[in-house]
Amino acid sequence: NGALISFRNGLNQNGLDFVTQLTLKIDLCRAHMRLKHHFEARTIASDVLDMISDDTEHDPADFSEAERSARYIRGNAVRESIDHGVGTKDLVRARKDLLRSLQNTQTGSNRDLDEGTVAVGAILELDTALGRITPEEAVHRIEETLRVANVGLEEGTLEDETRRAWSWWCLFGARIA
């Protein structure tokens, strides 16, 4: 894929500052997720989180968006791999990642809020896989939540990205059922 090559070429440039490296790696993670390269997305997201935690030159608060994105991507990469034999430890960490991504959500950012909507649904799927709730309970919660979202849709108050975020809940329900 051309995007993967471009991001890798960018990362191979000499003299990249820390912020540019983080940005390119997050974009590379997102590209891998879109291509369903879950292992690669998860690995690079973990690298981003390690870079942030190991950095001593910057204020970690300056990278809350990068951390939020990396946790969101890593958590969803694991969730997408549930059918491929992901262990309980990985599922628990994915759930924690998604919860932490929600904690870092910027209320003024539509992208963050839409990803937050997806993260909540993803946590339901992980909770089902972990046996914290039954599939029936999860599907019921999804149905109830989608009823509320439908009101916004009927009133015309949902933007396209938000509609797309809610459509993920239908996929979560199908995967859980």
| Mean pLDDT computed over 126-144 | 94
CB 110, CB 161: distance < 8 Å: yes
- pTM, to two decimals: 0.86
155, 158, 92, 88: which is closest to 123 by C-alpha? 92
What's the N-to-C CA distance of the chain in angstroms?
33
38-54 and 64-80 helices, crossing angle to 10°: 150
- Residue 169: the pLDDT is 81
More confident of the two residues 70 and 3: 70
The CB-side HSE value for 175 (13 A sphere, CA atoms) comes to 20
Answer whether residue 164 shows pLDDT above 80: no
pLDDT in tens, 147-161: 776 655 566 655 666
pLDDT in tens, 58-72: 887 788 889 999 999
- Residue 108: the pLDDT is 57
| Mean pLDDT computed over 27-35 | 93
Strongest mean pLDDT among 48-52, 101-105, 164-168? 48-52
Confidence of residue 93 (pLDDT cuts 50, 70, 90): very high
Answer whether residue 111 shows pLDDT above 60: no
Token duo for residue 160:
């396209």
Amino acid identity, residue 50?
D
100, 155, 94: which is closest to 125 by C-alpha? 94
